[in-house]
A and B are shown apart, each in its own frame.
Chain A
């Protein structure tokens, strides 16, 4: 293999799929072959059966919808708050000096550690779930957006200045459009992290959602159901990633050239 040599699209897709096949084959080998106990790891077929049962008998699609709603809800609120703050922090040094130390500190506070407090403050309702995701995402987005805005090409800003742009114009017509594709990429990344927070939030004090199903299945030692839940999360992540990328290509055609 030569380093960096390109491969065709067909080869790329086939190679991508073949790892999934290999993964399931290895899983099937250790489970069907009796190398691990069924108590600890269900085989692929049991997983499919359990999954079908979850969807047909136990209304699992409702749990999936609830989880998606929580992730998207918490994430959208976090983005609405964090993106403008990040832009202001990146553009204006006094605002950065004022907020950056606190945000950097807050970023390291684990969202899951807030769950007991949040239950105390907001109960075990939807608000508490949204808050976990909000706390987990908001500081990350602020810092990353601020960095994206601050690292805008200096020569583009100077070119705009010599064309008569003033402070507001520089921000609105150079810094924001220049950093927009990167901001979209940041949101895609943080949405991925938001999925981990929601499951943790649902493991504790919840009566619906994918995480709640997983913790219930643990009590019944239904490893097939647990694996099915995990795989569903993976598939949803894959789909949302694909949608995000497609939206970015459509919104920012210039950054793909």
Chain B
């Protein structure tokens, strides 16, 4: 415990976009996340790793208040987005979700056209100008590395795309509203290796514009893709460090055991 606290404080992140301070999450009486404190750096890729059920997805979903949809969830502690606590009652959750976008484990395009899928976020805000929408579609699809493949069939149903394409479409949909943070909950677990490598290349480009937080159970992916990694176990944060350092010289034994495959 002591070692853990030391590493988190020693890691001085200048200008963090997200500061989590003593965050606890409960499902009714059961504590799922215990005293999480960390800082997410701006325009970098941060990965959450850990065995199944350790709470990494739960933590990720707290960043855009998606846990509100689950019955009986309550939290204590603060999560500060650019200094403003998003865990309070009077925060506009809808506005928050425009600043913090999310890509899910199972790609979920809407049963609409590709065009309509990408601009969904813009339409619900009330943007009607065709030029603005067209530009947003092209920009987002290019950024998601999907433009060349679908530019001739924007009006076709999105459900006709392949799995990898649909996931990239969901990424395009998330970035169309130009969020500050993109949350990715195991985005490649439903995809084949080729599609996975496409997404990983994409993440590398995305971090120039956006902050990316990715949850993954694939350690090699975390090592390839991320700049900072947080290791969670049974609802607690065990270690949080720069990826290079964590995967070569982890400070805590538990981390080393996990990374080398001794458990999990």
Q: Do A and B bind each other?
A: no
